[in-house]
Amino acid sequence: MSTLSERDAHAVWHPYTSLKNADIHIPIVKAKGAYLYAENGDKYIDAVSSWWVNTHGHCHPYIAKKVYQQIKKLDHVIFAGFTHATAIELAERLLSHLPENQNKIFFSDNGSTAVEVAIKMALQYYYNKEINKKNIIAFKNAYHGDTFGAMSVSGDSLFTTPFKDLTFDVIRIEEPVKNNETAALNQLKEVLERKDVAAFIFEPLVLGAGGMMMYEAPILDEMMALCKKHHVITIADEVMTGFFRTGHFFACDVLKNKPDIFCLSKGITGGTMPLGVTSCTQKIQNAFIDDDVLKTLYHGHSYTANSVACSAALASMDLYEKQNFIKHVKRIEKKHNYFLKSIKTHSSLTDVRQKGTILALEIKTESQTTYTNSIREEIKSFFLNKKILIRPLGNILYLMPPYCITNRDLDYIYGTIEAFLDKRGKKV
């Protein structure tokens, strides 16, 4: 009988994976907490929350219970002309955590679609008001998803190259990372004074797939203030940074200026089911309230506001809202910070950075920092052999574990990182 790996190789096309010379995919048969269990009995620590989604850990019994209860009552109903309690309650709960300027919740399927909705909201806002503003500003190394609108506002990369002539033009500016804040701010000023800009989209404080690039709240506040002065809609892509990843419920919680639109996904259901959300202000919504049906936002998905996904999100929200939940976040933050201080002078590193529960280490290599840096496969293989799931971004090795991970597992991961670095050089 064929193994799962053999059957997979015959029938399945995996994401971000070459179809030639690809490694055999490891068949996972069950998961619990921070662990993945393979068909052959091996147990792996999921140090990246399976693409940043499993915030509470795998197969959380409370979320599973709520999903089971919901699917026995209502699985899915068309969300045009109908509604249901789980979607309404989830929208209310999310709005209670989002800034006060957020007024409405639009449901979709994932992070990319949440971004698509945000872009269409912003552009149609000006279309409905009969104002000719179509330019969008984004960061050079941004990543907002793989659908066409999301690719357009992402940076030029191997993800987007084959479609470069098909995506729409976007004005890209430098990221306001350390020692580059003034240049980035000046670029934004110059663009706003020269162009009619509709929207500015950004990943607040951390650019994820762009290399875990990190920057500070004050400079983002300045950039948002400039956008508001020029009547530019600000879009916060919190798909990755939301739900405590940066140490706060939302990364934008630390900003004085609040975005006009939020994009949410990943941790919204604790990693159990796909769900996307886009929220907006009353001002944006008002542009769509009109007797002219052509001013309607004609956008939707077959599984919009799926009741089972919404019930998973409500269960996830219950866990986030527990009085002692934040202690898990702060514990991981503290552990990461202690390790960062102990390792930052290692000769194999060019930089170590942290925001909340996200820790990134930039490994010194002869080639430049890119997603395809040859060290990527070396890192992945080394850690898989140590039964740790790490999926590096080129030479950027990062940790984004589920909040349930134990101190013991964190220490094991830190020790393995140090062993890998020692292979390449010594502490100085």
Which residue in 44, 125, 126, 143 is the catalytic one? 143
Catalytic, 143? Answer yes
How far apart, in whole angstroms, are the C-alpha atoms of residue 142 and residue 321? 30
Catalytic, 266? Answer yes
- Helices 307-320 + 85-97 axis angle, to 10: 40
How far apart, in whole angstroms, are the C-alpha atoms of residue 140 and residue 171? 9
Catalytic, 72? Answer no
DSSP string, 219-260: HHHHHHHHHHHTTPEEEEE-TTTTTTTTSSSSGGGG-SSPPS
Residue 58 per-residue DSSP state: B
> Under a CB-based contact definition with an 8 Å cutoff, are residues 75 and 69 in contact?
no
What the block records as the tokens of 4 is 């799962």
Which residue in 237, 258, 320, 355 is the catalytic one? 237
How far apart, in whole angstroms, are the C-alpha atoms of residue 134 and residue 126? 8
Strands ordered across the beta sheet of 396-399? 349-355, 358-363, 396-399
Which residue in 66, 133, 266, 355 is the catalytic one? 266
What CA–CA distances, in Å, run from 355 to 142, 241, 315, 326, 369? 17, 10, 26, 15, 20
For residue 375, what is the enclosing H or E element? helix 375-385
Catalytic, 125? Answer no
How far apart, in whole angstroms, are the C-alpha atoms of residue 44 and residue 405? 12
Strands ordered across the beta sheet of 171-173? 102-108, 276-281, 261-264, 233-237, 197-202, 135-139, 171-173
What sign does the CA torsion over 11, 16, 21, 25 have?
negative
How far apart, in whole angstroms, are the C-alpha atoms of residue 151 and residue 153? 6
Residues acting as catalytic residues: 16, 143, 237, 266
